[in-house]
Amino acid sequence: MVKNVADIRNIAICGHGSAGKTTLIDQLLVEAGAVKGNPSVDAGTSVCDFDEEEKHHKHSIEASLVHLDHAGRHFNFLDTPGYPDLVGQMIGALRAVETALIAVDAHSGIKVNTRRAWAEAGRAGCGRILVLTKLDTDNIDFAGLVASLKEAFGNGCVPLNVPVGLGDSISGVINTLMIPQNVDGAVVDPRPIHESLVESIIEVDEQLMERYFAGEMPSDEELSKLMVNAIAAGTLTPVVCVSAKKHVGIAELLDLLTLAALPPSAVARRAMLNGDEVTLKPDASAPLAAQVFKTRIDPFVQRLSFLRVFAGTLKRDATVHTADARKGVKLGALLEVQGAATHPVDDAGPGEIVAVAKCEDLHTGTTVGDVELPPITFPTPMVGLAVAPKNRGDEAKLSGALHKITEEDRTIHLEHDPETKEMVLTGMSELHLLLTKERLKRRDHVEIETHEPKIPYRETVQTEADGSYRHKKQSGGSGQFAEIHARIYPFPEGADPLAFASKERFPQLKNTHYHKAANFLWVDTVVGGTIPGNFMPAIEKGFLERVKSGVIAGYPVQNVCVEVYYGKDHPVDSNETAFRIAASKVFAEIFKKAKPGLLEPIVNVHINVPADKVGDVSSDLAGRRGQMVGMESTGGNMTTVEAKIPLSEVTTYARTLSSMTGGQGSFTMEFSHYDVVPGNIQQEVMSNAKLKDEEE
């Protein structure tokens, strides 16, 4: 039976690792009577951390779904991993909810993923509530912590309750919206906080604000009703206090979420319908609009696609439309999910979150229904490893296992590099790839060997050169003969092939062919039929073979023009094979004369670091042959540094940046261009390539 959409509350709990998010959800489930006993992360009995890797590492690795009922509301909670390496799970979960509950360890304070969770929740259009956890630990500066939240996230961060006692003596919390008469033991006076709280709430109602500043206090009922609007508008970010270990503040948190968590109607969901933008209404009778926000493949190869329904009604065994499939997709059973457990349901209406089993046509981001929801944008993974099966014969097994991994985690990419002949797995960090390696071994029984992937260098020339090559082979009967005279020129990237291959440059110009991928141009200026025209395709083929295989170090050639201007043939012994071989050989001869060099890929990097670490980052970039382009303050005492740097210098940069910034730095990068490799580094690369050839 479809639930009443007004009573549904969808919440993602996120924040930095070890902030106690999973333990908090376990305690909320216990408080609401949704589970029995005392689930524990440390004991391996948590409702949310049920995966074997999660039990081993004692932290969440993927988002998990649980639900509970309290005070007439049905809550869906998505517990997300707290490490920046696993941010893709948080991004997917935030697409499925209206409220982000951001956990902050009261002892450690704001960390890198606290900021990331705040930013991603804002991008997803979620209301934000901050929950201060672990208030039972020692040496907590509560007033200082609240001040740091205001500095980082704005003055709208106002405590909705304050703790009675701290550390081992914490015994309860005091409401700052409806302050009780007895405030003994409060770590800070709740009365001044009440004023800030009221002002943050009434900011969304002009009439109430005018009455307030005229001296008329709003009623508690008015404030309670407006709180959802204030959170949705961002004028208020409630700060609430808990100690899951001592079960303090848990009941109060449930009550707050009942009052203040955003309903499905509070966030405008936009979609495209027949080329027009529409706003979805959470109406069970409307056309279906749902989206897959997470995919899980368990050890028994049961594929689970987690869907959030935004409009309409999803029914079991229904045939639905998706943009990815040419025909309708037949769904099987719909499942209500509680951690590792599932329960079949007949249908799901707006606001509900369910899973569909064993549907290969559903992928993370897939829209189900006739509208097209915006894609879920995941960050580009930065850290790559070349992977190969440890045991011979496991290639097909590994390929299938990696396909499952990339289906589950959209921040893991797999590429087969045709140049380096390597299978490269790219993730968010070394930890991310290590966890992936462990999962492959445990779940799919495939062990892999890894090493840093090769850098895709290119070869080019820096001056003009001229030369010839005669291919002559006689072995009884018809032989092989071909002679080619050619010149080579640097061909700048971005140059117009038609302008370069002009009659002014090549007066005898007959024909040109341009190959964009390699920025390779070849020019035919042969006159007098010294090379018959029917052999020109074979000459081009020989050139392209050499462009692909390289000359000096085995890397593809780029930014080169070759002119064929003279040659000789034999009426009997000349054939296509002879001219193809001669073309490859003459290319190599003139290439070596034209001051050959290597080009390396240069990437643009955007590095987000604490402002006081900019100097360290700048010095490190200089040592890596990087060039700073600019910097910009991004708020919260963070600065983004923009730079250009050779790709070879940042293959392990994530590790260095984390060390320099205490885990608070992050970066993105994208390809910029190719540039000439300095002489000393070129010699090293060429020596390594030569050694490898000798070993093979």
pLDDT in tens, 587-613: 999 999 999 999 998 988 888 888 899
The answer to whether the CB of 462 falls within 8 A of the CB of 598 is no
The pLDDT, as a whole number, for residue 692 is 54
Q: Where are the domains of the chain?
A: 7-266, 283-369, 383-451, 459-594, 599-681
Residue 581 has pLDDT above 70, yes or no: yes
The pLDDT, as a whole number, for residue 301 is 52
CA distances from 403 to 61, 274, 331, 412, 444 (A): 18, 33, 22, 10, 11
The answer to whether the CB of 95 falls within 8 A of the CB of 308 is yes
Taking residues 561-572, report their average pLDDT. 94
- Most trustworthy range by pLDDT among 13-27, 43-57, 206-220: 13-27
Q: Encode 510-532: b = buried (16+ Cβ within 10 Å), e = exposed.
A: eebbbeeebbbbbbbbbeeeebe
Average pLDDT, whole number, for the chain? 91
Distance CA 695, CA 693 (A): 5
pLDDT tens figures, 188-223: 999 999 999 999 999 999 999 899 888 888 888 888
Residue 112 has pLDDT above 80, yes or no: no
Confidence band of 690 (pLDDT split at 50, 70, 90) = low
The pLDDT, as a whole number, for residue 638 is 79
The pLDDT, as a whole number, for residue 639 is 87
Identify which of 251, 312, 205 has the alpha carbon closest to the alpha carbon of residue 68.
251
For the record, the structure tokens of 312 come out as 């309409």
Taking residues 32-51, report their average pLDDT. 93
Distance CA 532, CA 86 (A): 62
Confidence band of 382 (pLDDT split at 50, 70, 90) = low
Residue 691 has pLDDT above 60, yes or no: no
The answer to whether the CB of 423 falls within 8 A of the CB of 414 is yes
Taking residues 496-513, report their average pLDDT. 93
pLDDT tens figures, 254-277: 999 999 999 999 999 999 888 889
pLDDT tens figures, 154-184: 999 999 999 999 999 999 999 999 888 888 8
Taking residues 631-659, report their average pLDDT. 84
- Most trustworthy range by pLDDT among 102-116, 486-500, 660-674: 486-500
Identify which of 513, 507, 512, 588 has the alpha carbon closest to the alpha carbon of residue 547.
588
User: 3-state DSSP call for residue 451?
Assistant: strand
Residue 625 has pLDDT above 70, yes or no: yes
The pLDDT, as a whole number, for residue 221 is 85
Confidence band of 383 (pLDDT split at 50, 70, 90) = confident
Residue 454 has pLDDT above 90, yes or no: no
- Judge whether 283-369 and 459-594 match in fold: no
The pLDDT, as a whole number, for residue 249 is 97
Percent of the chain residues past pLDDT 70, beyond the cut: 97
The pLDDT, as a whole number, for residue 420 is 66
pLDDT tens figures, 335-369: 999 999 999 999 999 999 999 999 989 999 999 99
For the record, the structure tokens of 397 come out as 């097994």
Confidence band of 696 (pLDDT split at 50, 70, 90) = very low
pLDDT tens figures, 532-551: 999 999 999 999 999 999 99
Confidence band of 477 (pLDDT split at 50, 70, 90) = low
Q: Which amino acid is at 187?
A: V
Percent of the chain residues past pLDDT 90, beyond the cut: 66
Confidence band of 94 (pLDDT split at 50, 70, 90) = very high
Identify which of 556, 541, 585, 603 has the alpha carbon closest to the alpha carbon of residue 421.
556
Q: Looking at domain 459-594, does it have CATH number 3.30.230.10? A: yes
Residue 693 has pLDDT above 60, yes or no: no
The answer to whether the CB of 655 falls within 8 A of the CB of 620 is no
Residue 122 has pLDDT above 90, yes or no: yes
**What single DSSP character describes residue 27?**
H
The pLDDT, as a whole number, for residue 589 is 96
The answer to whether the CB of 121 falls within 8 A of the CB of 128 is yes
Identify which of 543, 571, 567 has the alpha carbon closest to the alpha carbon of residue 479.
571
CATH level 2 (architecture), domain 383-451: 2-Layer Sandwich (3.30)
Pick the CATH number of 283-369 from 2.40.50.140, 3.40.640.10, 2.40.30.10, 3.90.550.10: 2.40.30.10
User: 3-state DSSP call for residue 490?
Assistant: strand
The pLDDT, as a whole number, for residue 476 is 64
Confidence band of 636 (pLDDT split at 50, 70, 90) = low
Residue 298 has pLDDT above 80, yes or no: no
- CATH code, 599-681: 3.30.70.240
Confidence band of 430 (pLDDT split at 50, 70, 90) = confident
The residues that bridge with 481 in the sheet, in sequence order, are 472
- CATH code, 7-266: 3.40.50.300
